Chain A
Amino acid sequence: MSIAVSGRSLGVRYGARRVFDEVDLELPAGQLVVIVGPNGSGKSSLLRVLAGIQKPSTGAVQRSASTLLIGSQSAPPPDVTPRDLAGYGLALRRPWYRLAASREEDDAVEAALARTGLTDRARDALGEMSAGEVQRAWIAAALATKVGALLVDEPTSHLDLRYQIDVLKTLRALAADGVAVAAAVHDLSLAARFGDIVCVLAGGTMIVGPPEKVLTAEILSNAYDVEVSVHRHPEWGFLLCTPSSEIRSRS
């Protein structure tokens, strides 16, 4: 399995404040890596460092593939359409002397829009679309441009349940296509359900592993300073992570 992005001994400091230190993370092609952790633990900083937009205070990042970061502040102008978004990215891959899009480019855009369920909305302005559809438009652009790695900062925030599942399933599909995908999310159960690898970033360090190894009551309780209970859904078999106070109040 090839590694698209690899960070070694990464550390980020803002002035005197140490965000994290000695973080190692590999993003393998074809896997969805989910990063969880409390607010301010450095999830967004880590994604920016991995994407090469922010220099780490310590350590180094190696990228063997083009890496696209979709941040919470990546708001394109409202008149941009999903087709434009993918087309803008693809246009950069053309030789400089070729001005018009080729048939292959158009086909790649259409295929990506179809994969993300946006064919019917391909020509609608993003300003008129829901947050979930905008996320899917970005993912379609990543698909069309065949990025090697896609990093997404909080793709599910502000989305209702249906769109959260929708976006994460699309990210999974992207990973199934061989893309290295990393997403920072807040919902621990969704992280357990969709992540091939889960990273818990808290207190300046990161624990990395498969969901069942990392999403344990002990690790999560320490990470969030809240008692967290982890159990399996009796029918579906997924891990469910819940703050224990809520469980106590139910029982």
Chain B
Amino acid sequence: MTSGRIGASYSVRLFALALLAIALAVAGLFYGPVALDPAQVFDALLHPGHTDLAATIVWAIRLPRILIGICVGAGLGVAGAMLQMLFRNALVDPYISGVSAGAALAAVAALSLSASFAVIPAYAFAGGIACAAIVAFVGASGGADGNLRLVLAGVAISALCAAIVTLVLLAAGEAGGRSVIGWLAGGIGGRGWPELGWVVAYLAVGFAASIFALRDLNALRLGTVAAAGFGLNVDAARLRVLAIAALITAACVAVSGVVGFVGLMVPHTMRRLVGGDARRLLPACVVGGACVVLLADGLARTIAAPAEVPLGVVLAFAGVPFFLIIARRPVDI
């Protein structure tokens, strides 16, 4: 596929994805455990001040949930794309690189200390970047098996973080532990406007920073030798990209717990759709990530209704086969 053709049809593809995301978001407003007919939903949307059941469901439950889903999907999609370009490895995502696990551990520690939600993403950022730095250090020792080492290091660090989380939960006692376990399983239900506001604030900083890192990401596509030859300070650029990806992941983890595989599946699929150039790939991952999380959350809410399956569980069922398929063949980043 030539980039000329990608260029010509890029806006069309992005527009089609955006339409899909909007359709999924609208569907999320209409469907749920409580059946609301379209007139009730429209009425509720037009009258945010009402206190009837329909208005409460739309404004207090469904709308923040959909918007948080869009944020989490967009964030994890972009963070996954950045990490894959950073490590030049299609098997990397926030989950596998250890960023999510580190962020979750720090967030759990903050939650068990009854920290305000406003600072949880900050804790998660510190935890995420610390784990990512350890994983990157182990994986960066290079060689033909560098990628394998990176994935193994991510798995090992994630396991360690999970073990420490268990310890923290045990120490927190039953009451505190149960709410954290629900959060850890990954989900976007039960969050409201204040959480959404904080996530948007953190994501805005991360996304704005990522725009300035597009040139770093594209240079890194050429390999570190060529990037350095063109004048990129490779170590500084990798640190920048890692920090931005960790910040975006931290914002997502703080609100949704550990939602795996979005950061793996979305960049991979979007790369096939719009090519690997960061200037085209990252915007596509914003929209594509929103689509994936909205779709998965729709399933999470409906397949066992009225009970709800954790979002992380739904995504694992889709993501693991995906991982196994792409692990079997080389992918160009």
CA distance A105 to B214 in the complex (A): 17
Which B residues, 199 to 254, have Cβ-Cβ distances below 8 Å to chain A?
A: 211-212, 214-215, 218-219, 221-223, 225-232
Known: A68-B230, A81-B2, A94-B215. A76 touches B221 (CB 8 A): yes
A128 touches B2 (CB 8 A): yes
A53 touches B2 (CB 8 A): no
A85 touches B222 (CB 8 A): yes
User: Does B276 sit at the interface, judged by CB under 8 A?
Assistant: yes
User: Does B174 sit at the interface, judged by CB under 8 A?
Assistant: no
Kindly report which residue of chain B lies nearest to residue A122, judged by CB atoms: B4
Q: Which of B225, B230, B332 contacts A89 (CB 8 A)?
A: B230
B3 touches A79 (CB 8 A): yes
A77 touches B225 (CB 8 A): no
Kindly report which residue of chain A lies nearest to residue B211, judged by CB atoms: A99
A125 touches B1 (CB 8 A): yes
B211 partner residues in chain A, CB cutoff 8 A: 99
Q: Which of A53, A66, A77, A125 contacts B221 (CB 8 A)?
A: A77
B3 touches A81 (CB 8 A): yes
Q: Which of B2, B226, B228, B231 contacts A124 (CB 8 A)?
A: B2
Kindly report which residue of chain A lies nearest to residue B226, judged by CB atoms: A74
User: Does A67 sit at the interface, judged by CB under 8 A?
Assistant: yes
A38 partner residues in chain B, CB cutoff 8 A: none
User: Does A185 sit at the interface, judged by CB under 8 A?
Assistant: no
1/0 contact trace for A77-99 toward B, CB 8 Å? 11111011100110111101101
CA distance A99 to B277 in the complex (A): 15
CA distance A93 to B3 in the complex (A): 23
CA distance A68 to B226 in the complex (A): 6
A120 CB, nearest partner CB in chain B, Å: 12
B218 touches A123 (CB 8 A): no
A53 touches B230 (CB 8 A): no
User: Does A33 sit at the interface, judged by CB under 8 A?
Assistant: no
Known: A70-B226, A79-B275. A123 touches B3 (CB 8 A): yes
CA distance A141 to B214 in the complex (A): 18
B contact face: mostly helix, strand, loop, or mixed: helix
CA distance A234 to B4 in the complex (A): 49
Known: A84-B3, A123-B4. A76 touches B215 (CB 8 A): no
B94 CB, nearest partner CB in chain A, Å: 22
Q: Which of B7, B219, B333 contacts A88 (CB 8 A)?
A: B219
A91 touches B218 (CB 8 A): yes
B230 touches A88 (CB 8 A): yes
How many residues of chain A have a CB within 8 Å of chain B?
38
CA distance A106 to B30 in the complex (A): 49
A211 CB, nearest partner CB in chain B, Å: 27
B215 touches A91 (CB 8 A): yes
B230 CB, nearest partner CB in chain A, Å: 4
A88 CB, nearest partner CB in chain B, Å: 5
1/0 contact trace for A111-134 toward B, CB 8 Å? 000000000000111011000000
1/0 contact trace for A159-194 toward B, CB 8 Å? 000000000000000000000000000000000000
A179 CB, nearest partner CB in chain B, Å: 13
User: Does A31 sit at the interface, judged by CB under 8 A?
Assistant: no
Known: A77-B276, A78-B332, A125-B3. A96 touches B212 (CB 8 A): yes
CA distance A96 to B276 in the complex (A): 22
A49 partner residues in chain B, CB cutoff 8 A: none
User: Does A3 sit at the interface, judged by CB under 8 A?
Assistant: no
A67 touches B219 (CB 8 A): no
CA distance A74 to B225 in the complex (A): 8
B225 partner residues in chain A, CB cutoff 8 A: 51, 53, 69, 71, 73-74
CA distance A237 to B279 in the complex (A): 51
B229 touches A84 (CB 8 A): no
Q: Which of A53, A75, A92, A96 contacts B219 (CB 8 A)?
A: A92
Known: A88-B215, A92-B215. A125 touches B223 (CB 8 A): no
A81 partner residues in chain B, CB cutoff 8 A: 2-4
User: Does A147 sit at the interface, judged by CB under 8 A?
Assistant: yes
Given contacts A76-B226, A123-B3, 11 further A-B contacts (CB under 8 A): A66-B231, A74-B222, A77-B276, A77-B332, A85-B222, A88-B221, A88-B222, A92-B232, A99-B211, A145-B231, A147-B229
Instruction: Supply 7 A–B pairs (Cβ within 8 Å), ascending by A.
Output: A77-B333, A91-B218, A92-B219, A92-B231, A123-B2, A141-B230, A145-B231
Binding site for B on A (CB under 8 A): 51-53, 66-71, 73-81, 83-85, 88-89, 91-94, 96-97, 99, 123-125, 127-128, 141, 145, 147
